[in-house]
Structures are given as C-alpha cells and as structure tokens.
Amino acid sequence: MGISAAVAVGREVPLLVDLVGVFVDPVPGQVETVLDQVPLTILQFHGDETRAACEQFGLPYIKAIRMKPEIDPLKALESHPKAAALLLDTFCEEVHGGTGVAFDWHQACVESTVPIIVAGGLRVANVAQALHQSGAWGVDVSTGVETGPGEKNAQMIVDFCNAVRDYDTQRQGESA
C-alpha cells in the first residue's frame, strides 16, 4: 500500500482502533515520512531491524521473526525486550512474509512476557488448528484472504474472522 492509500485509510479508521504501519528494513527517514502523514499507533517491523531501529520512534512495535526449526522465539525476544508483541512468520529466503506457507506452529507455544502472534499459511480451514497448536494470542493473515496477489476478498476476511471467533467461543466454553 502506498502512502496516499495509507493516508486515506487513516482518515477512515474509527477512534480506539489501532492503525499499524508495516515496514521491512526501512531506509532512514521512511518511517518518519509515513508518521508525518499517517496517524499510526503501532509499528510492525518484518526485516532485520535492530532493537535501536525499532525503538527510535517512541511508538509500541511488533517485531516479526522469520521462523525456521532452529529459531527460539524467546531468544528473539531477548534482542527486542521492548517489543509489544512478537509476530512469528514462516522463513523464506526471498521475501519477508506473504508466502502463504505455514511453519511448525508448535514452535510458537512458549511462555512469553509479550503476546505471540502467528502468521504464515493461515486460512479459514486451518486457523483454529494454528491457534490450538501455537497457543498464540492472535493471528495475522494476508495471502489466506486473497483471491490473487495483493487482492483481498471481503467475504474471505469475514469468514476468517468468523473462524477465529468460533475458535475463541469454543475455547471459552471448554474453560468454563
């Protein structure tokens, strides 16, 4: 999404809804340029950003970790102790997210001091399984609600949200 589209979306977001800006290894000044024009409340970093790079803007941030079998999310958190959450996504050499491929969700099942968000390969058909196996606080979806590259489908988004809501309702019923 370009900055003009982000500005337009930002104008439509109601009060008490967070507006998240997603960045991958931003060049100097890029985040400030966006912040000057878009009222972001949370930053999400998907590249190889350092702790200092993520913290310099004075906003809460989510740090994405590209998961491989040898990655320990808690070790990643040590590198970003002020992260508001960790987003665990599938490692792919060529891209930073949006692969449509899942990682082993059991890797996300850790005792963390911050919320764990799972991404990668999520769809209506598997989001409940992902939440169950990972114990994640939340999920992040992109390609799982697209009809084509970058083309989000409103009904797929509704169906995905309903699947998450159904999982939460079932889980609440089991704990009662």
- The per-residue pLDDT for range 25-62, each reduced to its tens digit, is 999 899 999 999 999 999 999 999 999 999 999 999 99
| Identity of the residue numbered 172 | Q
Structure confidence at residue 149 (pLDDT): 87
- Closest of 105, 150, 145 to residue 125, by C-alpha: 145
- Model confidence at 1, in pLDDT bands (50, 70, 90)? low
Q: 94, exposed or middle or buried, with CB in 10 Å at 0-12, 13-18, 19+?
A: exposed
The answer for residues whose C-beta is within 8 angstroms of residue 137's C-beta and 6 or more apart is: 85, 115, 116, 117
Please state which CATH class domain 3-175 belongs to: alpha beta
Q: What is the pLDDT of residue 150?
A: 83
Tokens 């972001």 found at: 40
The model's pLDDT over 153-176, given as tens digits with 9 standing for 90+, comes to 999 999 999 999 999 999 888 876
Number of neighbours of residue 135 by Cβ within 10 angstroms: 15
Query: Domain boundaries in the chain?
Result: 3-175
Which residues on neighbouring strands pair with residue 42, listed in sequence order?
A: 20
Could you give phi then psi for residue 133, rounded to 5 degrees? -70, -30
What would the mean pLDDT of 9-20 be, rounded to a whole number? 87
Residue type, 118: V
| CA–CA dist 61, 42 (Å, integer) | 5
Q: Cα–chain-centroid distance for residue 92?
A: 16
